[in-house]
Amino acid sequence: MGNIVQMKVYRGDKSGGSLRDYSLEIDEGMVVLDVVHKIQAEHSPDLACRWNCKAGKCGSCSAEINGKPSLMCMTRMDSLPQDRPITVEPIRTFPMIRDLVTDVSWNYEVNKRIPAFTPKPKNPDGTWRMYQYEADRVQEFRKCIECYLCQNTCHVLRNHDKHDEFFGPRFMVRLAMLEMHPLDAADRLKLVKEAAGVGFCNITKCCTEVCPEEIHITDNAIIPLKERVADEFYDPIRRLFRVFAGK
């Protein structure tokens, strides 16, 4: 049956806060989110956190668990060392609202600046053909659940605060998805280079490490984007080649 764990959960708001200690009994198989819910139900009903699916699908429950950016609903308690207290803190790159909840609205503003999917004309039979191998490439990026753990981890945003100049890994993934979408006709490379600031990324791969969807953010999204930018703006011959090869 249950054993007792020690938790340190961040409590606070815009004006500041600190870790608060909780000691409680847990059952087999519990995840961190269960423990947070138990704290709400039994100790602090006003403890603020976000969640929806409890199955790693909605990206709401992002937090830093023992300092590591993670989803609370996909982190089993028995995967964490129990000989010391487990800390749960909000993701730190975004402004604090309360407790485990931060203001992630900046991400939604960034998304609006990316021009929408722009479809190519259909085939004469009224369909679009796309083969699974073509779909596979973009489907990797479409798995993104917008947990913003990568945004939280990226030092360009976190330490250098370049929110005005760099869209962050999440939106590099989205831009790569659109650029590689077999049915999209728009060209966003100028945006990738300038407003989105792909040049700020120096490929440390910290974002890839924390992505719960295991998207290869750097290798599959950012590096190809950088290459396309290089082709487009610095290498006229390869650019011509791409025009003839069709994207």
Partner 1 sequence: MADYTPHQFDVLVIGAGGAGLRAAIEAAALGAKTAIVMKSLLGKAHTVMAEGGAAAAMRNADPRDSWQTHFRDTMKGGKLLNQWRMAQLHAQEAPDRIWELEEWGAVFDRTTDGLIMQRNFGGHTYPRLAHVGDRTGLEIIRTLQDKLIHMPVDVFMETTVTHLFKTGDTIGGALTYRREDGSFQLFNAKAVILATGGIGKSFKITSNSWEYSGDGQALAWSVGADLMDMEFLQFHPTGMVWPLSVRGTLITEGVRGEGGVLRNSTGERFMFSYIPEAFKNDVASTEQEANQWVQEVIAGKQATVRRPPELLTRDVVARAINSEVRAGRGSPHGGVFLDIATRRTADEIKRKLPSMYHQFKKLANVDITKEPMEVGPTCHYAMGGVRVDGETEMSSVKGLFAAGEVAAGLHGANRLGGNSLSDLLVFGRRAGAGAADYVKQASAVKADASAVDRALAENLACFERKGGENPYAVHRELQEMMQTYVGIIRTDADLRHALAELDKFEPRVKQLSVTGSRAYNPGWHLAMDLRSMLTCSRALTLAALERCESRGGHTRSDFPDYDKEWAKVNQVVKNENGVMKLERVVRPPIPDELKQLVEEA
Binding site for ligand SF4 (CB under 6 A): 59, 144-150, 153-154, 156, 169-170, 173, 201-207, 210-213, 215, 217-218, 222
Cβ 168 to ligand SF4, closest distance in Å? Answer: 7
Residue in 13, 23, 28, 52 binding ligand FES, rule: CB under 6 A: 52
CB 231 within 8 A of CB 238: yes
156 binds, among ligand SF4, partner 1, ligand FES, none (CB under 5 to 8 A by kind): ligand SF4
**196: how many CB neighbours lie within 10 A of its CB?**
26
- Asked if 99 is part of the footprint of partner 1 (rule: CB under 8 A), the reply reads yes
Nearer to partner 1, 5 or 155 (CB): 5
Strand partners, 96: 102
- The rounded radius of gyration (Å) of the Cα atoms in the chain is 21
Residue 117 binding target from ligand FES, partner 1, ligand SF4, none, CB below 5 to 8 Å by type: partner 1
Residue 57 sits in the site that holds ligand FES (CB under 6 A): yes
Options 23, 25, 135, 203; binder of partner 1; rule CB under 8 A: 135
Cβ-based neighbours of 106, under 8 Å, separated by 6 or more: 94, 163
Contact residues for 235 (Cβ-Cβ < 8 A; gap 6+): none
Sign of CA dihedral 75, 140, 93, 223: positive
Closest approach of partner 1 to the CB of residue 15, in Å = 11
Q: Which residues pair with 31 in a beta bridge?
A: 76
Q: Please list the residues that pair with 87 across neighbouring strands.
A: 8
Residues between 170 and 229 with contacts to partner 1, criterion CB under 8 A = 178, 181, 183-184
Looking at 20-101, list the stretches that DSSP marks H as alpha helix, in order from N- to C-terminal side: 32-42
Which residue in 22, 36, 114, 119 sits closest to 72, CA to CA? 36
Q: Give me the residues that bind partner 1 (CB under 8 A), please.
A: 13, 27-31, 34, 40-42, 45-60, 74, 76, 97-99, 101, 103-105, 108, 111-112, 116-117, 119, 127-132, 135, 138-139, 142-143, 145-146, 178, 181, 183-184
